[in-house]
Structure 1
Amino acid sequence: MAAVIPAVTRISSRIIRILGCNPGPMTLQGTNTYIVGTGKRRILIDTGDADVPQYINHLRSVLNYEEIDLAHIFISHWHHDHIGGIPDILESLGEKTKYCQMWKFPRAQDELPDNVTFEHLKDGQEFSVEGATLRVIHTPGHTEDHVIFHLLEDNAVFSGDCILGEGTAVFEDLYDYMNSLQDIANIQPNTIYPGHGNVISNPMEKIKFYISHRMEREHQIMDVLSNNRKQTFGEQDLVKLVYQDLPEKLIKAAESNVNHHLVKLLKEEKVKKHNNLWQYNETHPYIKTC
């Protein structure tokens, strides 16, 4: 059972975590939001859901107790449990956000809160406040606009929904997602502060698990295709061959998962697609990797 996350936690001299108070099947105990910095003007990463007065009260208490304002609000991605709280924060904490800038990586069809103006984050961009320097790293996959924030002073990463404190993450594009996991691995962070779940103190082990978890399913799919190179398969066919004793209610989800893998493999030219059926690509021999 996961350790209980308090409503407010001082993680270090430069990081305060405030739980979004929005528990659920997808949000776990709630969305983690983080105040970063040591000076009068600090950065808030993510804002939880809309219409959660308990979260706003906790945030207000922290800002008042610390006698600080918000210089910037960074959004890791467009999902409602990360961006939804911005209007409530601006309305309820006006004096504390009077000169605050809102930042988000652009998305093709952004669904942004009304009456909120966002500046565009850029890959590699750096922001500094007293006690903290954050580098923006575009990590698409969970969503196309997803970013993480690399805290340079501690070599720590605020991972949003790319890596969770418990369980595994969902994604829109597996090809992009796997590349993003490798980008985080290349940082070799000392600590990961996830968008949901507890602090990850063994980042490289966690990232390796995330990668191997996805590759295991990919190997199963490719084994079927490579052992039956002249045949074509639909997602339903592959689910029956790859998943053992799968309850009927989970079949559609499994088909979607298999499709994510196939689209990734298509981008890597390891499979071909004909009339919505999939086949091993003989021109790019399959080499199993860990």
Structure 2
Amino acid sequence: MPSSSPSMTKPKPQGFYSSTFWADYLSTQHSRLPKLGDVTENCGSSRRVVRFLGGNPGPMQLQGTNTYLVGTGRSRILIDTGEGHPSWIMNLTGYLDDHDISISHVLLTHWHNDHTGGLDDLLLHDPDIPVHKHMPDLGQHPLRDGQIFTTEGATLRVVLTPGHSADHACFVLEEESVMFTGDAVLGHGYSVADDLGAYTESLRLMRRLGCSGAGYPGHGDVIQNLPRVLDMYIAQRAARERQVCSVLAQAPPSLTVEDVGERLYGELASSSDSFDTAVRPLLDQVLFMLADHGKVGSRLVGIGPGQRRHWFVVQSQTV
């Protein structure tokens, strides 16, 4: 039986991602982004890929959501459906009509509305297109790890990559050793994760697959060297883990999350507002992930409203 996804509305930023620090960072990043065309043929120099921009630029969406038409024949596969802006469906259906192309399958990277919001408009255009997603909604088909979808000129292999969302999936284009990365890896900057532990494992899995070419992200320009960018993502997360473990190891017997934040971020953590919105959510994710991996432990100290969780390095671990 298909399982229900979360409510099909755009997720609201929470914690660090609703902070003024994050907003300022995104604003700066957005001002530096290259311009992308609404429709880009031979995207990433591939004759197999046409990119359609979702028409929804924004702080979290960068230039907008990327959707991709994959293949070389009269029947092709569509990856993601944008957010539902009229320009997207007009550009897509106009291209299909002009080139006498139909869509054999829709593959969704994950449930977030900026990747699925245009689906209803597409199905009004052609209600018989099968839709596939990991953890599918009613009427959709499930994706299985390793599942193959073929069309003229293209073979796509499913790679389940939870972390950014529980149902996230990527797709490898076998003919070119490239990957459609959804929101696991972006064309600019770094992505965010619902489950940091699962996300980190998914990044490592993506790296082990050995795709030697480009990455086609859910947001941003084509990633020209996907292995290098995956290495950067993995290194960034590993460095944060080492920093947290090092702080805990050097300050026995244990530290609260506030103590860890002060030692790592200094003045940024000294303001309660800054700490609660910009530091605590990130550190909590890292600490609980390290605890799941047996690298750190914690204990509750005190009683009642004053009870606090104190963290420490597990002695068998080396930093």
TM-score, normalized by the shorter chain, greater than 0.5: yes
How much does 1:186 deviate?
A: 1.1
1:52-100 per-residue CA deviation (whole Å, 9 max, x = no partner) reads 1111111111111221111111110111101111012112x2xxx3431
Residue from 86, 98, 109 that aligns with 1:76: 109
Across the two proteins, how many residue pairs are aligned to each other? 274
CA contact (8 A) 1:140 1:180 kept: yes
Alignment check: 8 A CA contact 1:71 1:99 kept: no
Unpaired runs of at least 5, structure 1:
none
Secondary structure of the residue that 2:192 maps to in structure 1? coil
* Deviation for aligned residue 1:253: 2.8
**Which of 277, 286, 291 is 1:266 aligned to?**
291
Where does residue 285 of structure 1 map in the other structure?
317
1:178 counterpart = 2:200:
yes
| Greater relative contact order (CA < 8 Å, ≥ 6 in sequence) | 2
Greater mean deviation of Cα atoms: 181-190 or 270-279? 270-279
Distance 2:158 2:173 in 1: 9
Counterparts of 1:283 and 1:202 in 2: how far apart (Å)?
Answer: 39
CA contact (8 A) 2:294 2:314 kept: no
* Pairing 1:116-135 to 2, within 5 Å after superposition: 117-135=139-157
C-alpha displacement of 1:230: 1.4
Q: Counterparts of 2:39 and 2:299 in 1: how far apart (Å)?
A: 53
CA distance in 2, matches of 1:267, 1:66: 52
Match of 1:4 in 2: 35
Whole-Å Cα distance in 1 between the matches of residues 188 and 314 of structure 2? 39
The corresponding residue for 1:106 is 135
Instruction: Answer whether contact 1:269 1:281 (CA < 8 A) is retained.
Output: no
What is the match of residue 57 of structure 2?
23
Q: 1:250 and 1:24, CA in 2 relative to 1: closer, same or farther beyond 3 A?
A: farther
Q: Is the 8 A contact 1:269 1:284 kept in 2?
A: no
Given that 2:81 and 2:118 are in contact with CA atoms closer than 8 Å, whether structure 1 keeps it comes out as yes
Instruction: Give the match's secondary structure for 2:69.
Output: strand
What whole-Å deviation, never above 9, does each CA across 1:18-45 have from its counterpart, x for those lacking one?
Answer: 0001011110010000000111211110
Contact 1:33 1:46 in 2 (8 A): yes
Contact 1:77 1:147 in 2 (8 A): yes
Letter in 2 for 1:40: R
Give percent identity, aligned residues only.
38
Q: Distance in 1 between matches of 2:128 and 2:75?
A: 10
Match of 2:226 in 1: 203
Secondary structure of residue in 1 paired with 2:267:
coil
Pair 1:278–1:63, CA change in 2 (3 A)? farther
Question: Over residues 217-247 of structure 1, what are the superposed CA-to-partner deviations in whole Å (9 max), with x where a residue is unaligned?
Answer: 222211111112312x332222122113327
1:187 aligns with 2:187: no
What 5-or-longer segments of structure 2 have no aligned partner?
Answer: 1-31, 301-307
